[in-house]
Amino acid sequence: MPIHVLKAGDGDTAERGGALFEGGRVWTRGLAAGDEPQVSATVVHFEPGARAGWHRHSTDQLLYVVSGIGKVGGRDGETVIAAGDSVLIPANTDHWHGAHDTGSPMSHLSITPAGSQFTVLDG
């Protein structure tokens, strides 16, 4: 298989809404290029106050904070996260993440295996 390069000016950044995001504006940009990538990698930018609501993934999810300050929460509590931090969320774990109430925007990479499914949950 050939190596696929996605240049900074290629691809689209799109504002996201819908049932998953709440509290403010969120933008995403997919990073995994190629015919059949085995991984899904997305940059997600949250404006201050925005977050993904409660959800779970069918596979592990790795978050890497690129910039800003945010939070990640599960049924057992929440943790402040900042640039350089990484978070491994095990498969089928109820959680949320975003800038939430930190007063700062936050951007992270979200990495899951290709084909991972997510389910939006009631809080």
Beta bridge partners of 30: 42
Residue 2 in domain? no
Residue 4 inside a domain? The answer is: no
Q: Is residue 42 part of a domain?
A: no
Residue 82 maps to a domain: yes
User: Is residue 32 included in any domain, yes or no?
Assistant: no
Give which of 42, 65, 58, 50 is closest to 96, Cα–Cα: 50
Tally of structural domains, the chain: 1
The rounded distance, in Å, linking the Cα atoms of 97 and 78 is 9
Closest CA relative to residue 95, chosen from 67, 62, 65: 62
Q: Which CATH number characterizes residue 96's domain?
A: 2.60.120.10
- Note if the pTM is more than 0.75: yes
Using one digit for the tens of pLDDT, what is the confidence trace for 59-113? Answer: 999 999 999 999 999 999 999 999 999 999 999 999 999 998 999 999 999 999 9
Containing structural domain, residue 58: 16-25+48-113
CA-derived radius of gyration, the chain? 14
Question: What gap in Å lies between CA 110 and CA 40, rounded to an integer?
Answer: 8
In a domain, 75, yes or no: yes
Whether 34 is covered by a domain: the verdict is no
What is the per-residue pLDDT across 20-66, written as a single tens digit (0 to 9) for each? 999 999 999 999 877 788 999 999 999 999 999 999 999 999 999 99
**Do the domain assignments include residue 77?**
yes
